[in-house]
Structure 1
Amino acid sequence: MSNEIPVKQVDPTPNPSDKGNKDKSIDLYASRQKIYVKEVKGLFQKIRNVSLLALMGMYFLFAWLTLDGQPLIHFDLPAREFHLYGVTFYPKDFFLLSAMLIISAFGLFFITTLFGRVWCGYTCPQTVWTFIFMWIEEKVEGNRNKRIKLDKSPNSSEKIIKKTIKHTLWLLVALATGLTFVGYFYPIRELIVDLFTLHANGWAYFWVAFFTVATYLNAGWMREQVCLYMCPYARFQSVMFDANTRIVSYNPNRGEPRGSRKKGADPAELGLGDCIDCDQCVQVCPTGIDIRDGLQYECIGCALCIDACDEVMDKMGYPKGLISYTTENELEGKTSKLLRPRTFGYGAVLATMIGTVIFIIATRVPAQLDVLRDRGALFSFNGEGRVENSFTVKIQNMTEVPQSFELSVDGLEDIRIITPTSVTVASGEVLSLPTVVDVLPESIEVTNSTIRFQATSTTDSSLLLETESRFVGPRPR
């Protein structure tokens, strides 16, 4: 079955080269054409290099750093503990993770409303790893023209050697990526040793292999296809754009009509715009688009076309900025507004969420006291004639060191705990302690009284835990 459908030229001024309204065919499912990205230097490429080095440095380094003997970042799934920068979180803190994800989402919305897809162009992992792989390809196979020539040439020893070196380096980077990612869940110093001594469990081998293959395919082979067809952000980003969003744009009022000319030629005398139709902006684009065709969802905002165009304008003696970060209003000669209702809304929600999370973490008590009353019996009398109630006291220690606690209870006159009151709770442990509380019958004024349990740490004086429960006794006389 053919994937082509006939279409007709309906433009009231048909293109002469189309010979009237002759039927033409458009291939709806064209196979991917490999994009050969040309190396370019400039301001935005320097910014990207800095962000790339910073992000990659943090990713590969943080897995090795420790704080007080604990990995700086460690997601300990078997123990259900999450260690982040010296703070330990537990499953009950899951709402903080949800809040952080919401903050990330609104942060993305806020930045997109202001500056378009700068996240994609400078910090997205797909972009970062793709640029690393492209850099390796450039160093091994040569510049754009050499790579095109090499791919078109028949197999030879030189071609095989270069391709082998390139793919070997790609796989090494991908392997380092996979090892590091798993190292955030399985302490990387132990992981490396266990993997190469065959002592690691099967899941460790599986996930290292999975992320190695995923990195190799996504950054080495698929590249822009991930951004165009797999990433949902490319599809809904336009909802956050408006006429004041600053995005990478070509200025047709200045650039059109295009045409080649000699260096130093006055475009006005030639009846041309500043664009010399050199296609440099197309050759440096990692997604293979022509920015001069207007806003396209494929554009990731990397600004390589700006660097390339500015370099050409500088050589021609023309002002820079034919392609630039600008807004629709500025292109139409209007004034752009940085602050507007949409940005205020996103900014307010973002600031509120960040402030709330910071407050919760700053005031978070790294221990928890819960008391469960034994519902199997209301009360009983002991040998001293005192009324007893049974409880289960649970103390969770979320600090990095063991904590010793002294238990006490108040709320009724002469109330006491008759089981051991001194306990030690290991780091990350939830201690469950059966506890008996008794009181003189004369102190009971109602059958159901409120009492308060306290657990005071003798290790850290700042840890004072309190919770309420109920004490049940006989009907007072």
Structure 2
Amino acid sequence: MSGNQSEKPAGQDGVPDWRPPRLQPATRAVSADDSNTQVEEIRAKIYPRSITGVFAKWRIMLVLATQLIFYGLPWLQWNGRQAVLFDLTERKFYIFGIVFWPQDVFYLAIILIISAYGLFLFTALAGRLFCGYACPQTVYTEIFMWIERKVEGDRVARIRLDESPMSLRKLRIKGTKHLLWIMVAWWTGSTFIGYFSPIRELGSELIHLQLSFWQWFWMIFYSFATWGNAGFLRESVCKYMCPYARFQSVMVDKDTFVVTYDKIRGDPRGRRSKKIVPSQAGLGDCVDCTICVQVCPTGIDIRDGLQYMCIGCGACIDACDQVMDKMNYPRGLIRYTSESGMLDGLNNKQARQRLFKPRVFVYFALLSVFIIGLIVSLSMRTPLRVDIVRDRGALGREIPGGMIENVYRIQLINMSENDQTFALTARVNDIAQVNVLAGEENAREIKVPAFSSQWFPMVIRAPAEGSATGLHPLTLRIENTDQKAGALSAERDTTFYVPN
């Protein structure tokens, strides 16, 4: 992956073709040697070299931020309960002051649409930047690699350790590393379960081995997946398993900002003394040190052009800038820019102006519409839901006292944070007097605890005298009696049947 590269055919303008060979159309059949090379690349272990710089600091800050949210969010309390809890047993999703029920699947669809358009917009602007800084696979790989460097040393030390024969020292170092990895993975798996079971009770249940089968299963599964993906698979997930890597090419174009090697400025490559002027020696600014390859977490050579395996982490930019500083060359041989900006010699400000095209505005407009719609819908969401089911076994019957009785079942969902008492009233066309009795005690009021859903039997009675036979439209109104915490009301339409 290193070494001098053969010259690419020049275009009509005399500029070498910048497009990476892996993104160009295939012009020849894949030979056996190519297949063997690909298999060797898959099997080869990558030893990323540690690097410091602007983008390395950004990665560290985002690792800390994302993990602070992940590990800390389940411990937050909201009105005496866990602020974020996806209670699958009770089929309720608590997110701070909002509770989502199975009937709210509409909101899930909206959130998925927002995520899709956000992905399209972000990729059109900045390529695979999310993968390099906030993707869980990248974040946990960074954490595991940090532990590995602290225990085994940097790149050269790790290579020598792996190549050395097994010994007590090697066994001790490897054992320490895996012990720390397993501790982080187990903590991660336990936190993951804490989003679905009350995390403050989880510790006690874990100590006393009182977890359910599915809690044990998902805790062990998620812990093992973290240990395996971040400790062993690493870049293979990004290169061969992640679907985003495969279809990002249809969302980026020549104006998208990505990690780019300036081929015009850097080639021809070659090692040289700091005293040599590159132009006089017929060389570009690239000194062919291959450090950009050594720091790459996926092991690619960015000098071959944009490749779907590049996660946009910027490690090669930090490495190259340090080399340029040592050689007293201008920074930016590898930088975030667009293909058109590099070929046309544009600065970053000019290149950014080309980002805003009709496609980007369409993505942004659609994303804004769905976000605003979601916010408005949540703000107008009534924390009271009512469902009425008629008793099909007895549409209507006459009872002693000259009354007609219809039987229903009513479901009340109280999505507020307070216990509520609801009063029920009914209105039937052509019938002046209608009584509503609900609950086991046939009362006019029903008590429903906070964040709960309950079914009640409901009886509606009307005088038989003067009531025409047949179906009559009926409107049922439900409203809370104590409106100090806010008025809750709802109306539902059904029918009242008067038999012959």
Instruction: State the alpha-carbon separation in 2 of the partners of residues 344 and 201 from structure 1.
Output: 49
Partner of 2:106: 95
- Is 1:389 the equivalent of 2:377? no
Equivalents in 2 of 1:179, 1:24: separation in Å? 47
- Structure 2 matches for 1:98-137, cutoff 5 A? 98-137=109-148
Report the residue type matching 2:416 in the other structure: T
Q: Does residue 439 of the first structure (1) align with residue 480 of the second (2)? A: no
SS of the residue aligned with 2:370? helix
Q: Which residue of 2 aligns with 1:226?
A: 237
1:29 is aligned to 2:39: yes
Q: Is residue 484 of structure 2 the alignment partner of residue 467 of structure 1?
A: no
Three-state SS of the structure 1 residue aligned to 2:43 is coil
Look up the equivalent residue of 1:97 and give its one-letter code: L
Partner of residue 421, structure 1: 444
Could you say what secondary structure the match of 1:270 adopts?
coil
How far apart, CA to CA, are the structure 2 residues paired with 1:309 and 1:77? 49
Correspondent of 1:322 among 304, 314, 333: 333
Tell me if structure 2 keeps the 8 A contact 1:396–1:429: yes
Cα distance between partner residues in 1 of 2:456 and 2:303: 72
Deviation at residue 212 of structure 1 after TM alignment: 1.2
Q: Deviations over 1:362-397 (max 9, x none)?
A: 111122112222333343333332333222222122
- In the alignment, is residue 265 of structure 1 matched against residue 276 of structure 2? yes
d(CA) in 1 for partners of 2:490 and 2:372? 25
**Superposed displacement of residue 457, structure 1:** 1.1
Q: Which runs of 5+ in 1 are unaligned?
A: 1-10, 13-22
Give RMSD over aligned pairs. 2.1
Q: Which residue of 2 aligns with 1:345?
A: 362
Shift of 1:467: 0.8
1:410 is paired with a residue whose SS is: strand
1:156 partner amino acid: S
Measured in 2, the distance between the counterparts of 1:394 and 1:58 equals: 37
- Give CA deviations for 1:184-213 in whole Å, capped at 9, x if unaligned: 112122112111211222222222111111
Counterpart among 236, 242, 245 of residue 253 in structure 2:
242
Give the partner amino acid of 2:33.
S
Matching residue of 2:379: 362
Structure 1: how far apart are the matches of 2:295 and 2:48? 5
Match of 2:191 in 1: 180
The aligned length equals 456
| Contact 2:402-2:465 at 8 Å conserved across structures | no
Alpha-carbon distance between aligned partners in 2 of 1:379 and 1:63, rounded to the nearest angstrom: 51
Distance in 2, Cα, partners of 1:428 & 1:261:
72
User: Are 1:455 and 1:466, in contact at CA under 8 Å, matched by a contact in 2?
Assistant: yes
Q: Give me the whole-angstrom Cα distance separating, in 1, the residues matched to 2:214 and 2:468.
A: 61
SS in 1 for 2:39: coil
CA distance in 1 between partners of 2:482 and 2:60 (Å): 48
TM-score normalised by structure 1 residue count = 0.91
Deviates more, 1:389-398 or 1:209-218: 389-398
Which residue identity lines up with residue 321 of structure 2 in the other structure? D
User: Partners of 2:154 and 2:125 in 1: how far apart?
Assistant: 35
Alignment partners' CA distance in 2, 1:387 and 1:204: 52
Equivalent residue letter for 1:116: G
Judging changes above 3 Å, is the alpha-carbon distance between structure 1 residues 205 and 431 closer, same or farther for their aligned structure 2 residues? closer
Structure 2 stretches lacking a partner, 5+ long? 1-7, 10-30
Given residue 144 of structure 2, which amino acid in structure 1 is its aligned partner? F
Name the residue aligned to 1:202.
213
Q: CA deviation at 1:275?
A: 0.6
Are 2:422 and 2:478, in contact at CA under 8 Å, matched by a contact in 1? yes
Q: Are residues 1:375 and 2:385 paired?
A: no
Query: Does the 8 Å contact 2:397/2:499 carry over to 1?
Result: no
Identity of aligned residues (%): 45
Given that 1:413 and 1:443 are in contact with CA atoms closer than 8 Å, whether structure 2 keeps it comes out as no
1:304-339 deviation per Cα after TM superposition (whole angstroms, max 9, x unaligned): 001111111111111111101111111220664121
Greater relative contact order, per chain length (Cα 8 Å cut-off, separation 6+):
2
The answer to whether residue 479 in structure 2 is matched with residue 456 in structure 1 is: yes
For residue 212 of structure 1, the aligned residue among 216, 223, 228 is 223
Contact 1:410 1:452 in 2 (8 A): yes
Q: What is the DSSP-based 3-state SS (H/G/I as helix, E as strand, rest coil) of the residue aligned with 2:68?
A: helix
Look up the equivalent residue of 1:434 and give its one-letter code: P
Q: Which amino acid aligns with 1:391?
A: Y
The alpha-carbon deviation at position 344 of structure 1 amounts to: 1.5
Q: Give per-residue Cα distances to partners, 1:31-65, cap 9 Å, x unaligned.
A: 51111111111111111111110000110111212
CA distance in 2: counterparts of 1:420 and 1:190, whole angstroms: 38
The equivalent position to 1:293 in structure 2, one of 283, 296, 304, is: 304
The amino acid that maps onto 1:25 is D
What is the aligned partner in structure 2 of residue 5 from structure 1? none
Output one character per residue of 1:238-270: Cα deviation in whole Å (capped at 9) or x when no partner: 010111111001011100111111224321111
The 2-side partners of 1:178 and 1:161 are apart by 25
